[in-house]
Chains A and B, each alone.
Chain A
Amino acid sequence: MYTISGKLRTVAFVLMILGLIGVVYGFMTSHKSLDDVKEMLAAEHAGHGEDAVDTKAHVVAGVEDHSDNAHEANAIGALEDPASANIEHVGTDAHVNDEHAEHVQHLIANRPWSAIYVAALFFFTIALGALAFYAIQYAAQAGWSPLLLRVMEGITAYMLPGGLIVLAIAILSGTIGHYNIFIWMDPEVVKEDLLIRNKSSYLNIGWFAIRGLIFLTGWFLYRHFARKFSIAQDEANDNKNFKKTFRISAGFLVFFLYTESIVSWDWIMSVDPHWFSTLFGWYVLAGMMVSAITVIAMVTIYLKSIGHLPLVNDSHLHDLAKFMFGFSIFWAYLWFSQFMLIWYSNIPEEVTYFVTRFEDYQFLFLGMVVLNFVFPLLILMNSDFKRLPWFIMMAGIVILVGHYIDVFNMIMPATVGDQWYIGIPEISSMLLLGGVFLLVVFTALTKAPLMAKRNPFIKESEHFHY
């Protein structure tokens, strides 16, 4: 039996406390008064000097809500008739300035909300991806992985609390917050915006919450019973429990593929309610799988290094690293397919999504492709390197950083726009939820022996050799 070391527990608590302080600080400093924002903008102007075009686009965006479409449509409108726009601009300078400042004020207020939402999503997708990977191992009757099943079960323990945290932040942002993540939760915006109004039978807080709870319940039920049967199998005389897990895993995978897709529309894509992409669900899935497998590999290496998984050999690590490599490429394939199709056809209503990312997030947006694709491609290609624990650890850290930036890039441009920065709110949110994740996962690992005893494939897994 594995027992959580005091040091690890201390680390988790320190992370949580530091993170909590930072998150509270982030929320306290994000309420800027309109005058403060104006002062800040004036200072920025003085600093930047001549970037009138950029500013104008922003002023115009402030006139309506901060939806990207309105942004574009108005920007185009302004360009069509520059003379009248300019006159209007000059005439109502004070008024427009107010609107612009209000817009920026809202973006600044969104920042701590989005920061903790991104962190919550990041850790939740790791746990959910691990659950899907776990179900695949059972459904495929994989012979190499049974030694790692308990590690995966430990990681999936974070799925339910993590999912509830994500859902809670999402709903709180629309109830006690000022619609800081999802603009479709704002009745004012819905009243003004025909596009969102037409989607409001799907996008409304009640139905959003119920959907989220249904999905979480479904996933939790699978996790609960799979874990129960897995532990029951240890003491059983036959393989009845294994067969039951096999059946529910196959069923879960069907349920999961539908619900994962829907949840990625709900929790991620709907931050940009004017935009949609059909392969978004798979794209999110690829990202979650690669980060989940990376975390499985890292936890396995950690547990092995302290002597708790003596039978795990470098062939198991090799297989995990191959999955990291393969899913990194799969992620890049979907990222590029989504980007290239939209770039190629360049339809204004779709392309705004990437325009905002290229204008305000270029370094992160392109840098993440290097971290998530080019780096794993070159580093994890060599067979010998995939067997070195420290090498997998290093590659894993880069992949996890890359996928944090991926989630960051999905949420932030819609909520904080060009007011983003990776500072105290973002880092503290990661610390806070990272601490919770560590504590939940490693506590769950202590609840059962780390080696499944009577799994029908355990012998094969023990002698697995590639």
Chain B
Amino acid sequence: MEASKVIHAIYTDDDVLMAAVKKVSSAHHHIEEIFTPFPVHGLDKAMGLAPTRIAITSFLYGCVGLAVSIWMMNYIMIEDWPQDIGGKPSFSFIENMPAFVPIMFELTVFFAAHLMVITFYLRSRLWPFKKAENPDPRTTDDHFLMEISVNNNEKELTDLLRETGAVEINLINKAH
């Protein structure tokens, strides 16, 4: 596979980074990736990233949890062995429903929370023993790194990035 080239522009301030992102994207260069040590408010908007849909998945997982809890308790307490336990009415689900609500609530939250977290891990490709993808270890401490693909416009890009206040500009050969 051919080696593609990228430029790594390094910044030391998140405000400078934000301004740089706006400038680079208004010049229609494709930003591949940005590495920051902490969340920079508004960076996703400046990069034009699509909003996350993880809250929607969480809502759906919560519905699943609610359904599971209702099915489980209806089967166990009402259908399978409707015992008289302390005079609680086990004739139908609705008659004994208040006693099931704490479990229905907790299972809804449990499913919504855990499945959403697992979804997040899967979508973000995070797991134990995963090889870290840091292009530069300083980006976990106090540096910000913007990765831009190069399509034979190295000079133009370097000049533009120099203007935006990058402290370091490196051309990297990415061997795929």
Please name all residues of chain A whose beta carbon is closer than 8 Å to the beta carbon of B59 when the two chains form the complex.
381
B87/A343 in contact, CB under 8 A: no
A 228-248 contacts with B by CB, 8 A = none
Asked whether any CB of chain A lies closer than 8 Å to the CB of B98, the reply is yes
Complex CA distance for A182 and B59, rounded to whole angstroms: 46
Smallest CB-CB A-B distances: 10 pairs: A340-B98, A343-B98, A344-B99, A336-B101, A340-B101, A344-B98, A339-B98, A381-B59, A346-B87, A336-B98
Complex CA distance for A44 and B101, rounded to whole angstroms: 39
Please name all residues of chain B whose beta carbon is closer than 8 Å to the beta carbon of A381 when the two chains form the complex.
59
Complex CA distance for A343 and B59, rounded to whole angstroms: 30
Complex CA distance for A340 and B55, rounded to whole angstroms: 30
Please name all residues of chain A whose beta carbon is closer than 8 Å to the beta carbon of B99 when the two chains form the complex.
340, 344
Complex CA distance for A125 and B30, rounded to whole angstroms: 57
Complex CA distance for A393 and B55, rounded to whole angstroms: 24
Please name all residues of chain A whose beta carbon is closer than 8 Å to the beta carbon of B101 when the two chains form the complex.
336, 340
Chain A residue nearest to B102 in the complex (CB): A340
Q: List 12 A-B contacts (CB under 8 A).
A: A336-B98, A336-B101, A339-B98, A340-B98, A340-B99, A340-B101, A343-B98, A344-B98, A344-B99, A346-B87, A381-B59, A383-B55
Instruction: Determine the interface band of chain B, counting residues with CB < 8 A from chain A.
Output: under 10
A 181-212 contacts with B by CB, 8 A = none
In the complex, what's the smallest C-beta–C-beta distance from A438 to chain B, in angstroms? 38
A 330-352 contacts with B by CB, 8 A = 336, 339-340, 343-344, 346
Most A CB within 10 A of own CB, among B98, B99, B101: B98
B143-173 to A contact mask, C-beta < 8 Å, 1/0: 0000000000000000000000000000000
In the complex, what's the smallest C-beta–C-beta distance from B65 to chain A, in angstroms? 15
Please name all residues of chain B whose beta carbon is closer than 8 Å to the beta carbon of A343 when the two chains form the complex.
98
Chain B residue nearest to A341 in the complex (CB): B98
Q: Which A residues lie at the B interface, using CB under 8 A?
A: 336, 339-340, 343-344, 346, 381, 383
Complex CA distance for A461 and B87, rounded to whole angstroms: 56
In the complex, what's the smallest C-beta–C-beta distance from A331 to chain B, in angstroms? 15
Complex CA distance for A339 and B99, rounded to whole angstroms: 11
Chain B residue nearest to A345 in the complex (CB): B86
Chain B residue nearest to A342 in the complex (CB): B98
In the complex, what's the smallest C-beta–C-beta distance from A419 to chain B, in angstroms? 28
Please name all residues of chain A whose beta carbon is closer than 8 Å to the beta carbon of B87 when the two chains form the complex.
346
Please name all residues of chain B whose beta carbon is closer than 8 Å to the beta carbon of A344 when the two chains form the complex.
98-99
In the complex, what's the smallest C-beta–C-beta distance from B59 to chain A, in angstroms? 7
Please name all residues of chain A whose beta carbon is closer than 8 Å to the beta carbon of B98 when the two chains form the complex.
336, 339-340, 343-344
B 45-87 contacts with A by CB, 8 A = 55, 59, 87
In the complex, what's the smallest C-beta–C-beta distance from A186 to chain B, in angstroms? 35
In the complex, what's the smallest C-beta–C-beta distance from B49 to chain A, in angstroms? 17
Complex CA distance for A285 and B15, rounded to whole angstroms: 45
Known pairs A340-B98, A343-B98; list 10 more (Cβ under 8 Å). Answer: A336-B98, A336-B101, A339-B98, A340-B99, A340-B101, A344-B98, A344-B99, A346-B87, A381-B59, A383-B55
Chain A residue nearest to B56 in the complex (CB): A382
Please name all residues of chain B whose beta carbon is closer than 8 Å to the beta carbon of A346 when the two chains form the complex.
87
Complex CA distance for A13 and B113, rounded to whole angstroms: 52
In the complex, what's the smallest C-beta–C-beta distance from A165 to chain B, in angstroms? 37
Complex CA distance for A270 and B121, rounded to whole angstroms: 55
B89-127 to A contact mask, C-beta < 8 Å, 1/0: 000000000110100000000000000000000000000
Chain A residue nearest to B59 in the complex (CB): A381
Complex CA distance for A343 and B96, rounded to whole angstroms: 10
Chain A residue nearest to B87 in the complex (CB): A346
In the complex, what's the smallest C-beta–C-beta distance from B37 to chain A, in angstroms? 24
Chain B residue nearest to A336 in the complex (CB): B101
Complex CA distance for A381 and B59, rounded to whole angstroms: 10
In the complex, what's the smallest C-beta–C-beta distance from A73 to chain B, in angstroms? 20
Complex CA distance for A340 and B105, rounded to whole angstroms: 14
Please name all residues of chain A whose beta carbon is closer than 8 Å to the beta carbon of B55 when the two chains form the complex.
383
Chain B residue nearest to A346 in the complex (CB): B87
In the complex, what's the smallest C-beta–C-beta distance from A174 to chain B, in angstroms? 36
In the complex, what's the smallest C-beta–C-beta distance from B91 to chain A, in angstroms? 15
Please name all residues of chain B whose beta carbon is closer than 8 Å to the beta carbon of A339 when the two chains form the complex.
98
Chain B residue nearest to A383 in the complex (CB): B55
In the complex, what's the smallest C-beta–C-beta distance from B33 to chain A, in angstroms? 27
Please name all residues of chain B whose beta carbon is closer than 8 Å to the beta carbon of A383 when the two chains form the complex.
55
Chain B residue nearest to A384 in the complex (CB): B51
Chain B residue nearest to A333 in the complex (CB): B105
In the complex, what's the smallest C-beta–C-beta distance from A328 to chain B, in angstroms? 15
In the complex, what's the smallest C-beta–C-beta distance from B41 to chain A, in angstroms? 10
Complex CA distance for A381 and B63, rounded to whole angstroms: 14
In the complex, what's the smallest C-beta–C-beta distance from B63 to chain A, in angstroms? 11
In the complex, what's the smallest C-beta–C-beta distance from B128 to chain A, in angstroms? 33
Chain B residue nearest to A381 in the complex (CB): B59
Chain B residue nearest to A343 in the complex (CB): B98
Please name all residues of chain B whose beta carbon is closer than 8 Å to the beta carbon of A340 when the two chains form the complex.
98-99, 101
Complex CA distance for A195 and B59, rounded to whole angstroms: 49
In the complex, what's the smallest C-beta–C-beta distance from B104 to chain A, in angstroms? 11
Complex CA distance for A336 and B101, rounded to whole angstroms: 9
Chain A residue nearest to B55 in the complex (CB): A383
In the complex, what's the smallest C-beta–C-beta distance from B39 to chain A, in angstroms? 15
In the complex, what's the smallest C-beta–C-beta distance from B58 to chain A, in angstroms? 10
Please name all residues of chain B whose beta carbon is closer than 8 Å to the beta carbon of A336 when the two chains form the complex.
98, 101
Complex CA distance for A340 and B99, rounded to whole angstroms: 7
In the complex, what's the smallest C-beta–C-beta distance from A466 to chain B, in angstroms? 11
